[in-house]
């Protein structure tokens, strides 16, 4: 057992923290909320230059071959600074899916371009059916000679409006088990018949309605196997969930730090707010929640990275605990800031609003707890 990060990883963390603090301040976060694209191409380029896009890819694809826990570190720091943009879609979701389940040709084609920052990708899974489960996949892909033809509507799809390529989760076969008959396609976002319309969300995080009308995709663009794509989804979402959890930990710690500093500074009734025991208890509880989530997430992430069977349950646990704790911590943070914390101009709100977005990713607590209940034998 070794619960320390390596020196190289510690350096990565410091570098990421410094870089993001400088390059992604809250003014930029606010601008990008209103920005049509939702990301900064300059920043994107710089991140690629730092090697972040290819962090966990093999060197032959332009990556730096660090392990999954290094990506976790990066995500923690991104969460602390609320980095907007398609890093999560491109690298965490699509990058991991191709890395774990793509063919050599696909890896060569896409990982290399991701690593260089040349393409943005979008993970196109959820639908109006309102679930991250396999049962929600209804958008059909039907074989037609050497192609498949995709028709239907996807919803809540991050960054589809700026994506060059998409990984689209489709239904290719009906059947008793919804997990069967799911197939994933690499789809050129410029294909005729695709429209992507960003929806206003509480986090302004560019979730799109994506419509597919007779969109043709070559058979060769399947990731994983025909009808067996759900395995790829599961594997990808395990990793992505831990990245979302640790991103949230970063955000939570940021709000704890920010609130702690504020109450030490803000004087009412002749003493700092920090001197009020009730506020101290709120802070103590916030710290407990943040810390337990961090530790649980590290373990779950390590298991997911190692491909261990226990990852499935532990990741669901971490994500569910995140849903409970992120909201709690930012809610208290706003409350302790008082009225100023409820304004659009204050940073607390940026975090507060993102807690809802994070909750919606990869399963809410009811969904996850039902999974956990099964896993613990119920």
Partner 1 sequence: MDFKWTPEQEAMKKDFDDFFEEAMKGKPAAWVGGLEDMFSEEGFPFTKMVCSKLADKGWLVGHYPKEYGGSGWSILEQLIRAEAAGYHHAPTGDIFGIGMCGPTLIVVGTEEQKKEHLPPICRGERYWCQGWSEPNAGSDLAALTTRAVRDGDDYIINGQKTWNSGAHIADWAFMLARTDPETKRSRGISYFLVDMKSPGITVVPLISMDGSHLYNETYYDDVRVPARNMVGEENQGWAVTRMTMNFERSGVGGFAGNMADIKELVQFCKETKWNGKTLAENPLIRSRLAQLAIETEAGRALAYRIAWLQETGGMEAIATTAWMASSGKVYGSELSQRVAAIAEQIFGLYGQLIKGSKWAPFSGKYIAAHQMSMGGNIAAGTSEIQRNMIAWTGLGLPRTI
Under rule CB under 8 A, residue 277 binds its own copies: yes
> Among all chains, which residue has been given the structure tokens 């050497």?
146
Q: Which of 50, 169, 58 has the alpha carbon at shortest distance from 110? A: 58
The window from 93-101, 105-113, 276-284, 336-344 that contacts its own copies (CB under 8 A) reads: 276-284
Partner that binds at residue 51, options partner 1, its own copies, none, CB closer than 5 to 8 Å by kind: none
Report whether 219 contacts 336 (CB < 8 A): no
Shortest distance, CB of residue 35 to partner 1, whole angstroms?
16
Q: Give the residues across from 144 on adjacent strands.
A: 147
Query: Nearer Cβ to partner 1, position 21 or 130?
Result: 130
Query: Nearer Cβ to partner 1, position 35 or 164?
Result: 35
Partner that binds at residue 8, options its own copies, partner 1, none, CB closer than 5 to 8 Å by kind: none
Partner that binds at residue 356, options its own copies, partner 1, none, CB closer than 5 to 8 Å by kind: partner 1
Alpha-carbon distance 117 to 90, whole Å?
10
Query: Nearer Cβ to its own copies, position 276 or 328?
Result: 276
Query: Nearer Cβ to its own copies, position 5 or 276?
Result: 276
Partner that binds at residue 69, options partner 1, its own copies, none, CB closer than 5 to 8 Å by kind: partner 1
What's the token pair of residue 157?
């799809």
Which helix (DSSP H) or strand (DSSP E) does residue 130 occupy? Answer: none
- Binding letters toward its own copies, positions 217-256, x by CB under 8 A: ----------------------------------------
Query: Nearer Cβ to partner 1, position 118 or 310?
Result: 310
Alpha-carbon distance 315 to 303, whole Å?
9
Bridge-based pairing of strands 267-268 and 165-171 is: unpaired
Under rule CB under 8 A, residue 367 binds its own copies: no
Burial 337-350 (b: 16+ CB within 10 A, else e): beeebeeeebbbbb
Q: Give the residues across from 169 on adjacent strands.
A: 184
Query: Nearer Cβ to its own copies, position 3 or 278?
Result: 278
The window from 188-196, 271-279, 316-324, 366-374 that contacts its own copies (CB under 8 A) reads: 271-279
Shortest distance, CB of residue 261 to its own copies, whole angstroms?
21
Q: Which of 108, 174, 220, 281 contacts its own copies by CB under 8 A?
A: 281
Shortest distance, CB of residue 363 to partner 1, whole angstroms?
10
Under rule CB under 8 A, residue 22 binds its own copies: no
Q: Which of 1, 3, 278, 378 contacts its own copies by CB under 8 A?
A: 278
Q: Which of 30, 67, 188, 276 contacts its own copies by CB under 8 A?
A: 276
DSSP tag of 107:
I
Query: Nearer Cβ to partner 1, position 142 or 284?
Result: 284
Shortest distance, CB of residue 92 to partner 1, whole angstroms?
18
**Residue 132: strand, helix, or coil:** coil
Q: Which of 108, 212, 118 has the alpha carbon at shortest distance from 160? A: 212
The angle at the Cα of 299, spanning 297 to 302, to the nearest 5 degrees, equals 105
- Binding letters toward its own copies, positions 62-91, x by CB under 8 A: ------------------------------
Alpha-carbon distance 99 to 61, whole Å?
10
Query: Nearer Cβ to partner 1, position 108 or 366?
Result: 366
- CB contact set of 326 (below 8 Å; sequence gap of 6+): 248, 251, 252, 293, 355, 358, 359
Report whether 315 contacts 68 (CB < 8 A): no
Query: Nearer Cβ to partner 1, position 64 or 101?
Result: 64
Alpha-carbon distance 318 to 361, whole Å?
13
What's the token pair of residue 166?
């998409």
Partner that binds at residue 113, options partner 1, its own copies, none, CB closer than 5 to 8 Å by kind: none
CA dihedral 105, 183, 100, 237 (to 10 degrees): 150
Q: Which residues of the chain form contacts with its own copies (CB under 8 A)?
A: 276-278, 281
């Amino acid at each position: 057992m070794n619960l320390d990060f390596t020196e190289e990883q510690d350096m990565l963390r410091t570098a990421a923290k410094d870089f993001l603090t400088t390059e992604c301040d809250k003014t930029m976060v606010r601008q990008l909320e209103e920005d049509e694209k939702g990301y900064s191409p300059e920043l994107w380029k710089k991140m690629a230059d730092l090697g972040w896009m290819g962090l966990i890819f093999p060197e032959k694809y332009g990556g730096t071959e660090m392990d999954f826990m290094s990506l976790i570190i990066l995500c923690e720091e991104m969460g602390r600074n609320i980095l907007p943009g398609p890093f999560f879609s491109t690298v965490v979701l699509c990058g991991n899916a191709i890395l774990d389940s793509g063919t050599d040709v696909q890896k060569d084609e896409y990982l290399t371009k991701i690593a260089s920052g040349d393409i943005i990708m979008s993970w196109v899974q959820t639908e109006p059916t309102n679930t991250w489960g396999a049962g929600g996949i209804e958008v059909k892909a039907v074989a037609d000679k050497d192609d498949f033809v995709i028709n239907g509507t996807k919803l809540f799809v991050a960054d589809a409006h700026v994506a060059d390529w998409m990984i689209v989760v489709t239904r290719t076969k009906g059947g008793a088990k919804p997990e069967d008959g799911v197939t994933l396609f690499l789809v050129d976002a410029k294909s005729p018949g695709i429209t992507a319309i960003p929806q206003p969300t509480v986090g302004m995080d560019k979730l799109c309605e994506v419509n597919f009308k007779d969109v043709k995709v070559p058979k060769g663009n399947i990731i994983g196997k025909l009808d067996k794509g759900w395995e790829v989804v599961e594997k990808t979402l395990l990793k992505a969930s831990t990245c979302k959890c640790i991103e949230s930990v970063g955000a939570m710690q940021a709000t704890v730090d920010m609130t702690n500093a504020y109450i030490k500074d803000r004087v009412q009734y002749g003493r700092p707010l920090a001197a009020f025991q009730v506020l101290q208890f709120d802070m103590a509880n916030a710290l407990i929640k943040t810390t337990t989530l961090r530790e649980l997430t590290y373990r779950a992430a390590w298991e997911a990275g190692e491909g261990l069977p226990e990852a499935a349950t532990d990741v669901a646990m971490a994500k569910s605990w995140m849903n409970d704790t992120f909201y709690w911590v930012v809610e208290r943070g706003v409350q302790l800031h008082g009225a100023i914390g409820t304004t659009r101009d204050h940073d607390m709100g940026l975090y507060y609003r993102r807690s809802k977005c994070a909750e919606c990713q990869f399963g809410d607590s009811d969904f996850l707890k039902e999974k956990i209940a099964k896993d613990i034998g119920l």
